[in-house]
């Protein structure tokens, strides 16, 4: 039986920390922002919201919105030779 050390936020101390000026409540405009299909976005995690995240290794990746599922958006990115799809909450996305 193999035990894996840590969870999905392992080794994320600096990526998942906010500057002192941005600490506090999350702005509603960022939380409720809307995107259209084929719009280019950057995947930048918001540390204050735990739901709708993607794997940490794709932090800062750029992708294209391919659809909407509930409140979240389906983002397709190219990673190496593969295309990957993630379902991401809009608070973790930024327009390119």
Please name the residues in contact with 2: beta carbons below 8 A apart, sequence gap of 6 or more: none
Residue 76, strand partner residues: 64, 85
* 8 has pLDDT over 80: no
**In the structure, what pLDDT confidence band is assigned to residue 10 with cuts at 50, 70 and 90?**
confident
CA neighbours within 13 Å on the CB side: how many for 72? 14
Q: Mind listing the pLDDT tens digit for each residue in 22-73?
A: 888 888 999 999 999 999 999 999 988 988 999 989 999 999 999 999 999 9
Each domain of the chain, given as residue ranges in start order, spans: 26-95
pTM: 0.86
**In the structure, what pLDDT confidence band is assigned to residue 5 with cuts at 50, 70 and 90?**
confident
Q: Which residue has the higher pLDDT, 90 or 17?
A: 90
Cβ proximity of 87 and 72 under 8 Å: yes
pLDDT, position 3: 78
Note the CATH number of domain 26-95: 2.30.30.70
Provide the H-helix boundaries in the chain. Answer: 28-31
């Amino acid at each position: 039986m193999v035990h894996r050390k840590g969870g999905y936020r392992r080794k994320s101390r600096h990526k998942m920390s906010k500057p002192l000026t941005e600490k506090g409540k999350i702005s509603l405009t960022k939380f409720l922002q809307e995107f259209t299909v084929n719009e280019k976005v950057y995947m930048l995690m918001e540390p204050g919201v735990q739901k709708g995240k993607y794997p940490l290794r794709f932090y800062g990746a750029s992708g294209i919105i391919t659809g909407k599922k509930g409140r979240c958006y389906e983002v397709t990115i190219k990673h190496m030779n593969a295309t990957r799809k993630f379902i991401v909450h809009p608070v973790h996305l930024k327009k390119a």
